[in-house]
Structure 1
Amino acid sequence: TPSRCPRQCSVAATGCWYCRLPLLLLFLVPGSSSASESNFELPDNAKQCFHEDIMQGTKGTLQFQVITGGHCDVDCRLEDPDGNGLYKKMKKQYDNYTFTASKNGTYKFCFSKEFSTFTHKTVYFDFQGGEDPPLLPGENRVRTLTQMQSVYVSIQEALKSVIDHQTHFRLREAQGRSSAEDLNTRVAYWLVREALILLVVSIAQVLLLKSFFSDKRTRTTCVES
């Protein structure tokens, strides 16, 4: 009969590999060699740039999305250390661009909304430089992984997927909340205007009806001959 894991897991219990999974969850935090993730407010008719150091031959990925503001679009430009443009898009709501660094240096990516002078925008971006370090020593080499090691790698990939989905749904929730708050404000203003209009119309009707039933005194003038 197959052995069962006891309630108190022992490190020496080699047959009970899944007893140690709760301990592994404390250490399986996906990370990359170089990453920047943030959201910021872009003022009216402004431009904001960010910088990231990347080694030659390293793969980089830039992902951005406008959360709130106007038509939810922004201009984006990515430059290499020499100032050459690698990526340039105008009035994009969201996009994803992957490239390979041709030289060592500081790469710059900028967001601007010089075409808009009325509303500020909230922009989210995620810049990944390089690949995730291997979870296990020698993972990149061709070799057979044990059952426990395969579970480690599967959990790491699942956690990455969970983080990506959480980020996606948080952005959608922020967009939905912003739209709902804007709609609520417009409805409130419209209700106030309707209430004022009804008040004015009611007062006008009362005054009009009152004028119909009021006694009009006729004045007579005597003309002397």
Structure 2
Amino acid sequence: MIVKAHTQRNDRLTYLSCYVVRVDASEHSTACTFDLENKGELCFYQEFFFPGNYSFEFQVIKGGQRDVDVAIVAPDDSLIYNKEREKSGVHNWQTTVGTYKFCFSNAFSTFNRKLIYMSLMKQETAALAARMGTRRPDDVSAWLFVAKQIKESLDVVVELQNRYRRYEAVDRNNAMSLSARVQDWSLYQSVLVVVIGLGQMIVLKTLFTEQQTRRFSKP
């Protein structure tokens, strides 16, 4: 998968370096977690050599209101998926031969950068018998049927674990953000209490000092 990033500022095109946090790629799937700058746009290019059923999924893990603009462009430059200010989404479609473009835009955000997870997974894989080299893939024996069920169950477990990790990351970031806000507010209140206390002491000291001065200044 090819990555290209750019941002539009002051009507000039500036190229950014793409910092990919995590990339997992296999024969049938690709997943990555990347950092999207404020006012930035990041595009991934994936070339398909054979048609197939694929599933595209994304989720904003951290940053601002956890929203982003997402678009999928077909090889003929037609727009097959377009969402604005979305936190997460899934799109299933039948691919054709050619290069697809998956773009994420954070142009609406002035200060907040986003941490985004995306995955591209093939829904239909070759028959297990064919992948194992069986001469007659349609002839499913008992052990092959059990192996297929185990494989499908393991695929479901892996997908659920990945989804759980994303939800856990979102919750952890929200908890850390809330903790930081509580600490900042507590520090602000502590400083305010100290300032008010010192102000009261200064005012009281001034009043008593004026009274003593008047008492000793009588003729």
For 1:120-131, list aligned pairs within 5 A. 120-129=113-122, 131=124
Residue 161 of structure 1: aligned partner: 156
Q: Is contact 2:69–2:105 with CA below 8 Å preserved after alignment?
A: yes
Mean Cα displacement is larger for which, 55-64 or 193-202? 55-64
Matched residue of 1:178: which SS? Answer: helix
Instruction: Note the C-alpha offset of 1:141.
Output: 4.9
Normalising by structure 2, report the TM-score: 0.78
Letter of the structure 2 residue corresponding to residue 202 of structure 1:
G
Letter of the structure 2 residue corresponding to residue 44 of structure 1:
N
Matched residue of 2:30: which SS? Answer: strand
Mean Cα displacement is larger for which, 129-138 or 174-183? 129-138
Instruction: Note the C-alpha offset of 1:201.
Output: 1.2
Q: Is contact 2:61–2:169 with CA below 8 Å preserved after alignment?
A: yes
How far does the alpha carbon of each residue in 1:2-53 deviate from its partner, in whole angstroms, 9 at most, with x for none?
xxxxxxxxxxxxxxxxxxxxxxxxxxxxx96432100101000111111111
Separation in 1, partners of 2:135, 2:119: 26
CA 1:131–1:89 in structure 2 vs 1: closer, same or farther (change >3 Å)? same
Separation in 2, partners of 1:80, 1:161: 28
Separation in 2, partners of 1:195, 1:139: 77
CA 1:128–1:139 in structure 2 vs 1: closer, same or farther (change >3 Å)? farther
Residue 76 of structure 1: aligned partner: 70
Residue among 184, 195, 217 paired with 2:214: 217
| Counterpart check, 1:145 vs 2:141 | yes
Q: Is contact 1:66–1:123 with CA below 8 Å preserved after alignment?
A: yes
Which contiguous aligned blocks of 4+ residues in structure 1 show a shift greater than 4 angstroms?
A: 138-142
Letter of the structure 2 residue corresponding to residue 158 of structure 1:
S
Instruction: Note the C-alpha offset of 1:139.
Output: 10
Residue among 61, 69, 94 paired with 1:67: 61
Identity of aligned residues (%): 29
Greater RCO (Cα-Cα under 8 Å, separation 6 or more): 1
Q: Is contact 1:32–1:133 with CA below 8 Å preserved after alignment?
A: no
Normalising by structure 1, report the TM-score: 0.76
Residue 199 of structure 1: aligned partner: 194
| Counterpart check, 1:187 vs 2:192 | no
Q: Which sections of structure 1, spanning at least 5 residues, go unmatched?
A: 1-30
Instruction: Note the C-alpha offset of 1:92.
Output: 1.1
Matched residue of 1:123: which SS? Answer: strand
Indicate the structure (1 or 2) with the bigger Cα radius of gyration.
1
For 1:2-41, list aligned pairs within 5 A. 33-41=27-35
More strand by share: 2
Q: Is contact 1:33–1:131 with CA below 8 Å preserved after alignment?
A: no
How far does the alpha carbon of each residue in 1:153-204 deviate from its partner, in whole angstroms, 9 at most, with x for none?
1211111111111111100111011111111111111111111111111112
Superposition CA RMSD, Å: 2.3
Q: Which sections of structure 2, spanning at least 5 residues, go unmatched?
A: 1-24
Separation in 2, partners of 1:136, 1:79: 35
Instruction: Note the C-alpha offset of 1:212.
Output: 4.2
CA 1:32–1:157 in structure 2 vs 1: closer, same or farther (change >3 Å)? farther
Matched residue of 2:213: which SS? Answer: coil
Matched residue of 1:111: which SS? Answer: strand
Q: Is contact 2:57–2:89 with CA below 8 Å preserved after alignment?
A: yes
How far does the alpha carbon of each residue in 1:88-141 deviate from its partner, in whole angstroms, 9 at most, with x for none?
111111111111124x21111111111111100011000124622332235995
